[in-house]
Chain A
Amino acid sequence: MKIEVLGTGCPKCKQLEKDVYNALAELDVAADVSKVKDMKKIMSYKVMTTPALVIDGQVKISGRMPRKEELHQYIRESE
């Protein structure tokens, strides 16, 4: 599974990245997590608001922080 956190470095984007790592640890799932800061790359996912969460190339969330259960659900679904 490939997880990308899109964000230009604002506090919420950093928080989302941490949340992703925590969720992976709690669920004991392995994934390739990366942070996308380049604006052109962010635009290529057609989102206008960050933080955004992309799993296996698919945008799951944009412009807000997911609740913990929600994040767990997205990870489980894609496993």
Chain B
Amino acid sequence: MSFVLNMLNGGVQELLNYLSAHVITCLVPAFFIAGAMAVLVTKGAVIKYFGVQAKRWVAYGVASVSGMLLAVCSCTVLPLFAGIYNLGAGLGPAITFLYSGPAINILAISLTGAAIGWQMGVARGVGAILFSIVIGIIMSVLFRKEESKRLGEIEHLPEENSEKPGAFLVLFFGVMVAVLIVSTSKLTPWIKIAIDISLINSLAIMVHHYFVKGEFESWMSETWSLVKIVVPTLLIGVFVVGMVTAVIPPEWISRYVGDNTLGANLAASLVGALFYFSTLTEVPIVKGLMDLGMNEGPALALLLAGPAVSIPNLLVVNQIMGLKRTAAYFVLVVLMATLTGWMYGLFLI
């Protein structure tokens, strides 16, 4: 009986931890940013850099960061991946996009920062971008002789929303990121509120002058639909992690992944690569493991290998590019996550 109570108590404690001010003040602005990106960033503008004619290095560069703009869940990532592979710039940039997409979206990075620590959030973001380019290039070198035949060119369709000037988008998203940073900073509460109110006012002015009819509504409905997709599974994930970590003896964790050894990093990246983490639940899982004594290196390895690769995702990727390339991708992700985690644990802490 006390075992069950202990578990439930752990789950509730962990939930309360996530419902605390610092996580909510970070997640709420992040949801609005992600929603605005889905509505305002015209996909056509990004996709043209993935075309057959695009310069190689441009395609890699755009693929490594565009996940931030385009992708929140793997259901947008996979069609784009298949598209880049079959219709556009080919295997290398497609792999770069496939890897970085789910790892660097704004929600994942800000939640990692708020729940685990900003150093880990930054390490995850920077690690994922570099790592995705390296994996993409290695894949395209490995399979350079057998690039598949392209199915054709991408079809360009007119977009519904008015295209905004680049300077406006930079300013608009810059102000929203400023809200996120101010809200999560350590300033005294009334200063925070004062700065936030003025920033939000300037957003309102921008919306009033630059948005065409219907865009504000689509922004809000996009934000709400993201909340509906992400929050329930995240809360369930947090609760389950809290229950499980309440009853696992810490020695188990510290024995396997307590030190920053290559073996511990390999174990962490294998676990990350095989299991499916629903959007953002990787963060409470890693946080729970770290509370039980997991070292920072393996924690980063798990975060790097986790969201990008999982068995269901590999099955779809396998349909698109075949077993040989999928296996090579899997091995590369595990090896690179192991090495990056190990180096992070070794040099940066």
Which of B43, B73, B153, B225 sits near A46, CB closer than 8 Å?
Answer: B153
A44 at the interface (CB under 8 A from B): yes
Instruction: Check if A39 sits within 8 Å of B155, measured CB to CB.
Output: no
Instruction: Check if B160 sits within 8 Å of A70, measured CB to CB.
Output: yes
Chain A residues near B214 (CB-CB < 8 A): 67
B82 at the interface (CB under 8 A from A): yes
Q: Please, how many angstroms separate the alpha-carbon atoms of A43 and B155 in the complex?
A: 11
B79 at the interface (CB under 8 A from A): yes
Instruction: Check if B225 sits within 8 Å of A48, measured CB to CB.
Output: no
Q: Please, how many angstroms separate the alpha-carbon atoms of A8 and B316 in the complex?
A: 10
CB distance from B254 to the nearest CB of A (A): 39
Instruction: Check if B75 sits within 8 Å of A61, measured CB to CB.
Output: no
Give the segment of B84-92, B186-194, B330-338 that binds chain A: B84-92
Instruction: Check if B157 sits within 8 Å of A10, measured CB to CB.
Output: no
Which of B86, B151, B160, B319 sits near A64, CB closer than 8 Å?
Answer: B160
- Per-residue CB contact flags for chain B residues 20-55 toward chain A (1 = under 8 Å, else 0) read 000000000000000000000001000100100000
User: Chain A interface: which size bin?
Assistant: 20 to 34
User: Chain B interface: which size bin?
Assistant: 20 to 34
Q: Please, how many angstroms separate the alpha-carbon atoms of A64 and B222 in the complex?
A: 11
Q: Please, how many angstroms separate the alpha-carbon atoms of A63 and B319 in the complex?
A: 22
B231 at the interface (CB under 8 A from A): no
Chain A residues near B76 (CB-CB < 8 A): 10, 49-50
Contacts A46-B152, A47-B155 given: A67-B320 contact, CB under 8 Å?
no
CB distance from A16 to the nearest CB of B (A): 13
Instruction: Check if B78 sits within 8 Å of A48, measured CB to CB.
Output: no
Instruction: Check if B87 sits within 8 Å of A46, measured CB to CB.
Output: yes
- Pick the 6 closest A-B CB pairs, nearest first: A48-B83, A10-B75, A46-B155, A50-B79, A63-B43, A43-B86
Q: Apart from A12-B225, A13-B75, A39-B316, what 8 extra A-B contacts exist at CB < 8 Å?
A: A8-B75, A10-B73, A10-B76, A39-B79, A43-B83, A48-B43, A48-B87, A64-B159
Chain A residues packing against B (C-beta within 8 Å)? 7-13, 39-40, 42-50, 59-64, 66-67, 70
